């Protein structure tokens, strides 16, 4: 199920909210939320639910064993076994096809390529499970004793299929006990509808327009197409994160931010501190630093982390190329460029960042490396400058591009936030005007998104299969 | 919970709940006039449909299709998009590629089951120049299969066999840069000509390109069919090839009906560009045959279940597809007896492109038998040679939507034609 579907908005969510808030105790609330999360997941792929339950059960059992008094060697074996099972599932379901088809490129190798359906959100919940097991192994957190609570952590539907990637240490106490209030629900709703609007009103259209242009073969058409795709991927993914954070708030959880206006960055290094923050911090804490971080073989560590980041995004070699492309840029910045950019006007850094990000999304968009290189060649002058329809496409999308660019900055949110803050009561509560405007915003977004969802029969999230 | 927040929260979520409840208990629509299609019915829940998630997918379709006030919401969505995208402000030069739900299939080398093609990336509907057109991408494999079956039909029939492949609207009207590499209809025609051994490929391309360049309305702007004017060009090409003379178009009595929104509009109905056609739909111009005739439509090859029809039905009201003004829509088998009095007869193997053509053929041939092989069933055992012998047919004509024959979209027509072989 996706959030931007009528089934979710008008059937699943109201029913879930009624059952959740009718549950009298935190345990009952947790049971309700777990049941609805499993229904949510099984709605899309019932059989994949078994994979998730298996993965959760293994990590839960590993956590209990790691917390028990067992010899150090046994503890180490349990930890490695848990890692192998978790990563093994990811490897089988996500990368088996890529590996076999790559091996088949070798002479005399003709293995049948396995056609395994990728369970939705496997990359997200696998990483959540891994963070838990590693933290328990490092004795940075207590093992969860209740499978129900652990299952809730793994399967929480707001972030189950597209993140943010939760750390167990961040939500452990909230699972045990959390605060529910109409205030949280109100602000959570505003955040949810903000994300829904990003997805339905901006990302979906940007995607349609980008696809049309990226099918063409002219320099300006491709640049315009990739610019639209740049907005699509940001609003799609950050919209989903907003919805997840908003829903989490409604159910009493406080999730970490996943995006901080990345297109304002003035260096690639800064971009990756603002983009998909939960993934970046996962790789930093569980791969980069354990490998030695900046103190031991930093170049190797960066290459490994970014190769893994690339492959995490998809089972295709272009994603590896995309990851290594960013590794090269980050090494360049660490070498000298960052110091140089700091001395230059911020606009130069911003231009550098956006240029490299656009090239990055080109590598990301074209999953076929041949097509990707062909597109890059045309974008840098190796083809026709423009084609019929490109100027018209720019004209048609001009207002949309301006609005999307504005929406990817914090200015509107800051302006509204400041205005509302002035109207707050002395005890910091929302004024009547803020409540009225917030309610109207949610209702207007609901109507607009319902209209747009009705008008679109195919509405998948980009990050579904990651 | 603080009461000051409670009321706004209820105001946000109660409408969702109320609308959700209403959507469950209201009466579901079964047909959409705007989209001209049956709406998805409530799927049946079975263990198998649950396990493979098909129930959930169908339920999502059903719920979206039957959502309360859906028609109004769709129209409102288009208005909003038009507003944001300035589609009302820019002229007819904007280009939009709309995704298409068509299946892309290509016969693999050496025959066998059709399989998905790389051409899928090129499928879709193009909006350009205030016109919708289906993106055309030829397929060598499909073209070869089509040529092969035509050769065998001509051999089995033992009579002259003419082939009409109308130049697709995409070839005529799409901007140069939009046409992907490899989409070259003229090259497809040349290849087909080289592969045909017996059948005669009529030259429609020259006349259709000239007519398009002269801005003659040979294709509808919202439908994938040609207009009567386009069909006239094809009938004229056939007449010349078969030694006949077709009256000039100006000598025909004609009429027109406006308000036609065709198949491509239906496919694009959720898109903002479709609002342009709401304001300026197509007009169907029709020409009455000059000679008296009778038209009988049959469902059986025994030709014993005649239903009398007209070649042109200006008041056609069967549904809102005004292309069905021609012949009243599909007919598995049709027989036209014309008073043209030249003793000539033709056997037409055709799809819906034949609808607009048949009125002109009735002015060329005394007997016109038209068969639509898409209606082939196990009981439908019409074989070309035996049928032509039984009815004293002089010539054979094959006419169909070009992408169905040589495009990388479908391979439906060649297998249908196979069924007519002994």
Give me A135's structure tokens.
Answer: 């933290």
- Between positions 158 and 217 of B, the ones with CB within 8 A of A are 175-178, 180-181
**Across the interface, which of A1, A17, A392 has its CB nearest the CB of B94?**
A392
Beta bridge mates, B201? B163
Residue B40 has pLDDT above 50, yes or no: yes
Q: Which residues contact A23 (CB under 8 A, 6 or more apart)?
A: A29, A31, A32
Mean local confidence (pLDDT), A419-447: 86
Higher-scoring residue by pLDDT: B98, A76:
A76
CA A22 to chain centre: 31
- Establish if B30 touches chain A: CB-CB under 8 angstroms: no
Answer yes or no: are the C-beta atoms of B128 and A389 closer than 8 Å: yes
d(CA A360, CA A368): 14
Q: Tell me how many helices (H) and strands (E) chain A has.
A: 23, 0
**Across the interface, which of A43, A389, A456 has its CB nearest the CB of B128?**
A389
**Across the interface, which of A1, A44, A182 has its CB nearest the CB of B5?**
A182
- Which range among A90-104, A281-295, A390-404, B152-166 shows the weakest confidence by mean pLDDT? A390-404
Answer yes or no: are the C-beta atoms of B400 and B377 closer than 8 Å: no
Residue B2 has pLDDT above 70, yes or no: no
CA distances from B19 to B14, B16, B40, B68, B129 (A): 8, 5, 20, 8, 40
Q: Which residues contact B86 (CB under 8 A, 6 or more apart)?
A: A395, A396, A398, A399
Coil/strand/helix, residue A15: helix
Beta bridge mates, B336? B295, B368
pLDDT in the model for residue A218: 82
CA distances from B43 to A1, A461, B40, B57, B61 (A): 17, 24, 8, 9, 10
Radius of gyration, CA atoms only, chain A: 23
pLDDT in the model for residue B92: 41
- The helix (H) or strand (E) run that includes residue B282 is strand B282-287
Give the pLDDT confidence of B51-64 residue by residue, as tens digits. Answer: 888 899 889 888 98
pLDDT in the model for residue B400: 87
Q: Report CB contact under 8 Å: B17, A452.
A: no
d(CA A13, CA A3): 9
A18 contact residues in B (CB cutoff 8 A): 17
What's the complex ipTM? Answer: 0.81
d(CA A41, CA A55): 14
A212 contact residues in B (CB cutoff 8 A): 95-97
B45 contact residues in A (CB cutoff 8 A): none
Give the pLDDT confidence of B302-332 residue by residue, as tens digits. Answer: 778 889 999 999 887 655 678 989 998 888 8
Q: Which residues contact B34 (CB under 8 A, 6 or more apart)?
A: B71, B74, B269
- The helix (H) or strand (E) run that includes residue B194 is helix B185-195
A168-176 and A147-155 helices cross at what angle (nearest 10)? 120
A397 contact residues in B (CB cutoff 8 A): 85
- Establish if B34 touches chain A: CB-CB under 8 angstroms: no
A459 contact residues in B (CB cutoff 8 A): none
Give the pLDDT confidence of B212-225 residue by residue, as tens digits. Answer: 999 999 999 998 89
Smallest Cα distance from B118 to chain A, Å: 12
- Establish if B116 touches chain A: CB-CB under 8 angstroms: no
Q: Which residues contact B289 (CB under 8 A, 6 or more apart)?
A: B311, B312, B338, B359, B360, B362, B363
Answer yes or no: are the C-beta atoms of B132 and B125 closer than 8 Å: yes
d(CA B411, CA B145): 9
Answer yes or no: are the C-beta atoms of A274 and A258 closer than 8 Å: no
Q: Report CB contact under 8 Å: B11, A384.
A: no
In percent, the amount of chain B with pLDDT more than 90 equals 42
Q: Which residues contact A443 (CB under 8 A, 6 or more apart)?
A: B11, B12, B15
Query: Nearest to residue A134, comparing CAs of A86, A69, A73, A72?
Result: A86
- Which range among A59-63, B48-52, B160-164, B360-364 shows the weakest confidence by mean pLDDT? B48-52
Q: Which residues contact B302 (CB under 8 A, 6 or more apart)?
A: none
- Establish if B64 touches chain A: CB-CB under 8 angstroms: yes
d(CA B333, CA B369): 7
Query: Nearest to residue A453, comparing CAs of B81, B123, B390?
Result: B81
Mean pLDDT, chain A, rounded, equals 89
Max CA separation in chain B (angstroms): 92
Smallest Cα distance from A182 to chain B, Å: 5
Is residue A313 flagged as an active site residue? yes
d(CA A127, CA A86): 9
Kind of pairing between the strands at B282-287 and B367-371: unpaired
Higher-scoring residue by pLDDT: B109, A89:
A89
Give the pLDDT confidence of B256-275 residue by residue, as tens digits. Answer: 998 888 888 776 654 556 66
Smallest Cα distance from A212 to chain B, Å: 5
Predicted model pTM: 0.71
How is residue A247 annotated by DSSP?
A: H
How is residue B377 annotated by DSSP?
A: -
Give the residue carrying structure tokens 């790789």: A283
Q: Which residue of A has its CA nearest to B124?
A: A212
B64 contact residues in A (CB cutoff 8 A): 5-6, 453-454, 457
**DSSP secondary structure of A78-133:** HHHHHHHHHHHHHIIIIIHHHHHHHHTTSTT--PPPP--PPPTTHHHHHHHHHHHH
Beta bridge mates, B200? B162
Residue A197, burial from CB neighbour count under 10 angstroms (0-12, 13-18, 19+): buried
Coil/strand/helix, residue B247: coil
pLDDT in the model for residue B180: 56
Kind of pairing between the strands at B395-399 and B307-309: unpaired
pLDDT in the model for residue B129: 79
Give the pLDDT confidence of A119-167 residue by residue, as tens digits. Answer: 888 889 999 999 999 999 999 999 999 999 999 999 999 988 777 888 9
Beta bridge mates, B163? B201, B398
Q: Catalytic one among A180, A276, A296, A313?
A: A313
Give me B378's structure tokens.
Answer: 């196990």
Query: Nearest to residue A37, comparing CAs of A236, A247, A200?
Result: A247
- Establish if B12 touches chain A: CB-CB under 8 angstroms: yes
Q: Which residue of B has its CA nearest to A184?
A: B5
Answer yes or no: are the C-beta atoms of B287 and B253 closer than 8 Å: yes
Q: Report CB contact under 8 Å: A7, B60.
A: yes
pLDDT in the model for residue A114: 80
d(CA A347, CA A356): 14
Mean local confidence (pLDDT), B374-389: 79
Residue B137 has pLDDT above 80, yes or no: no
Q: Report CB contact under 8 Å: A455, B175.
A: no
pLDDT in the model for residue A88: 94
CA A82 to chain centre: 24
How is residue B165 annotated by DSSP?
A: -
pLDDT in the model for residue B179: 61
Give me B37's structure tokens.
Answer: 């299609």
- Which range among A11-15, A189-193, B135-139, B354-358 shows the weakest confidence by mean pLDDT? B135-139
Phi, psi of A188 (to 5 degrees): -65, -40
pLDDT in the model for residue A328: 96
Laid out side by side, the sheet with B96-98 consists of: B96-98, B125-128, B131-134
Q: Report CB contact under 8 Å: B121, A400.
A: no
A403 contact residues in B (CB cutoff 8 A): 84
Give me B133's structure tokens.
Answer: 């057109």
A317-332 and A298-313 helices cross at what angle (nearest 10)? 140
Give the CA-trace dihedral at B400, B406, B408, B412, to 10 degrees. 50
**DSSP secondary structure of B283-302:** EEEEE--SS-EEEEEESSTT
Q: Report CB contact under 8 Å: B99, A217.
A: no
Q: Which residue of A has its CA nearest to B11?
A: A439
Kind of pairing between the strands at B125-128 and B367-371: unpaired
Per-residue pLDDT band for B106 (boundaries 50, 70, 90) equals very low
d(CA B227, CA B78): 28
Q: Report CB contact under 8 Å: A388, B178.
A: yes
Mean local confidence (pLDDT), A232-253: 94
**Across the interface, which of B11, B85, B180 has its CB nearest the CB of A400?**
B85
Q: Which residues of B18-40 are buried (b: 16+ CB within 10 A; e: fewer)?
A: ebbeebeeeebeeebebbbeebb
Coil/strand/helix, residue A392: helix
- Which range among B39-43, B88-92, B335-339, B396-400 shows the weakest confidence by mean pLDDT? B88-92
Q: Report CB contact under 8 Å: A430, B15.
A: no
Give the pLDDT confidence of A38-67 residue by residue, as tens digits. Answer: 999 998 888 889 999 999 999 999 999 999
The number of C-beta contacts closer than 8 angstroms across A and B is: 176
């Amino acid at each position: 199920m996706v959030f931007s579907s009528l089934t979710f908005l008008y059937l699943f969510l109201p029913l879930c909210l009624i059952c959740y808030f009718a549950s009298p105790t935190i345990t009952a609330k947790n049971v309700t939320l777990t049941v609805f999360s499993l229904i949510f997941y099984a709605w899309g792929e019932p059989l994949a639910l078994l994979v998730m339950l298996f993965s959760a059960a293994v990590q839960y059992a590993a956590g209990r064993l790691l917390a028990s008094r067992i010899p150090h060697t046994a503890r180490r074996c349990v930890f490695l076994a848990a890692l192998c099972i978790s990563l093994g599932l990811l490897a089988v379901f996500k990368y088996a096809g890529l590996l076999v088809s790559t091996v088949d490129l070798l002479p005399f190798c003709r293995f049948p390529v396995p056609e395994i359906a990728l369970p939705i959100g496997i990359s997200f919940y696998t990483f959540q499970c891994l963070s838990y097991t590693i933290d328990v192994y490092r004795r940075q957190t207590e093992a969860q004793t209740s499978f129900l609570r652990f299952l809730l952590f793994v399967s929480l539907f707001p972030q189950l299929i597209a993140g943010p990637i939760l750390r167990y240490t961040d939500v452990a106490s909230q699972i045990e006990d959390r605060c529910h209030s109409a205030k949280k629900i109100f602000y959570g709703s505003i955040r949810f509808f903000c994300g829904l609007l990003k997805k339905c009103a901006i990302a979906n259209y940007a995607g349609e327009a980008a696809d049309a242009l990226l099918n063409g073969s002219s320099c300006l058409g491709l640049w315009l197409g990739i610019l639209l795709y740049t907005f699509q991927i940001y609003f799609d993914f950050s919209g989903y994160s907003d919805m997840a954070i908003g829903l989490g708030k409604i159910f009493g959880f406080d999730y970490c931010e996943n995006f901080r206006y990345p297109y304002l960055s003035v260096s690639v290094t800064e971009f990756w501190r603002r983009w998909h923050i939960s993934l970046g911090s996962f790789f930093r804490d569980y791969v980069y630093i354990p490998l030695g971080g900046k103190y031991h073989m930093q170049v190797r560590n960066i290459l490994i982390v970014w190769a893994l980041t690339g492959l995490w995004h998809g089972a295709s070699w272009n994603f590896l190329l995309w990851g290594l492309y960013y590794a090269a840029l980050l090494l360049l910045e660490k070498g000298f460029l960052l110091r140089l950019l700091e001395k230059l006007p911020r606009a130069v850094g911003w231009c550098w960042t956006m240029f490299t990000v656009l090239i990055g999304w080109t590598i990301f968009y074209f999953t076929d490396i041949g097509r990707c290189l062909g597109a890059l060649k045309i974008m840098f002058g190796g083809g026709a400058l423009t084609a019929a329809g490109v100027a018209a496409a720019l004209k048609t999308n001009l207002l949309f591009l301006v609005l999307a660019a504005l929406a990817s900055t914090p200015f509107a949110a800051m302006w509204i936030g400041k205005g509302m803050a002035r109207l707050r009561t002395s005890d910091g509560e929302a004024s009547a005007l803020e409540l009225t405007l917030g309610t109207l915003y949610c209702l207007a977004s609901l109507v607009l998104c319902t209209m747009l969802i009705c008008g679109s029969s195919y509405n998948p999230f980009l990050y579904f299969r990651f | 919970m603080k009461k000051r927040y409670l009321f706004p929260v209820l105001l946000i979520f109660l409408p969702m709940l109320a609308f959700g409840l209403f959507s469950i208990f209201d009466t579901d629509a079964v047909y959409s006039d705007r989209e001209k299609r049956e709406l998805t019915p409530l799927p049946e829940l079975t263990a198998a449909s649950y396990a493979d998630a098909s129930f959930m997918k169908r339920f999502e379709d059903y719920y979206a299709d039957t959502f309360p006030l859906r028609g109004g919401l769709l129209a409102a969505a288009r208005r909003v998009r038009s507003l944001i995208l300035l589609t009302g402000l820019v002229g007819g030069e904007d280009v939009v590629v709309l995704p298409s739900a068509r299946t892309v299939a290509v016969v693999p080398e050496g025959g066998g089951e059709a399989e998905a093609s790389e051409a899928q990336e090129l499928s879709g509907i193009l909006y350009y120049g205030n016109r919708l057109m289906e993106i055309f991408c030829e397929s060598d494999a499909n073209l070869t299969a089509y040529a092969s079956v035509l050769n065998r039909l001509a051999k089995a029939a033992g009579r002259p066999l003419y082939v009409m492949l109308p130049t697709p609207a995409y070839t005529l009207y799409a901007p140069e840069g939009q046409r992907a590499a490899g989409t070259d209809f003229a090259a497809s025609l040349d290849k087909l000509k080289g592969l045909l051994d017996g059948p005669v490929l009529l030259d429609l391309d020259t006349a259709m390109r000239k007519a398009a360049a002269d801005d003659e309305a040979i294709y509808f702007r919202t439908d994938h069919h040609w207009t009567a004017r386009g069909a006239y060009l094809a009938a004229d090409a056939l007449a010349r090839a078969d030694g006949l003379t077709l009256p000039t178009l100006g000598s025909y009595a004609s009429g027109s009906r406006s308000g036609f929104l065709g198949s491509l509009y239906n496919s694009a109905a959720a898109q903002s560009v479709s609002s342009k056609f709401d304001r300026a739909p197509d007009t169907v111009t029709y020409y009455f045959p000059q000679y008296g005739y009778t038209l009988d439509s049959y469902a059986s090859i025994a030709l014993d279940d005649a239903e009398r029809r007209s070649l042109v039905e200006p008041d056609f009201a069967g549904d809102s597809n005004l292309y069905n003004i021609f012949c009243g829509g599909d007919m598995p088998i049709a027989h036209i007896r014309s008073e043209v009095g030249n003793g000539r007869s033709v056997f037409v193997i055709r799809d819906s492109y034949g609808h607009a053509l048949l009125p002109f053929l009735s002015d060329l041939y005394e007997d016109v038998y038209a068969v639509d092989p898409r209606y082939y069933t196990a009981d439908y055992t019409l074989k070309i040679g035996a049928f032509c012998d039984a009815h004293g047919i002089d010539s054979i004509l094959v006419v169909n939507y070009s992408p169905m024959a040589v495009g990388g979209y479908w391979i439906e027509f060649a297998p249908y034609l196979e069924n007519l072989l002994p």
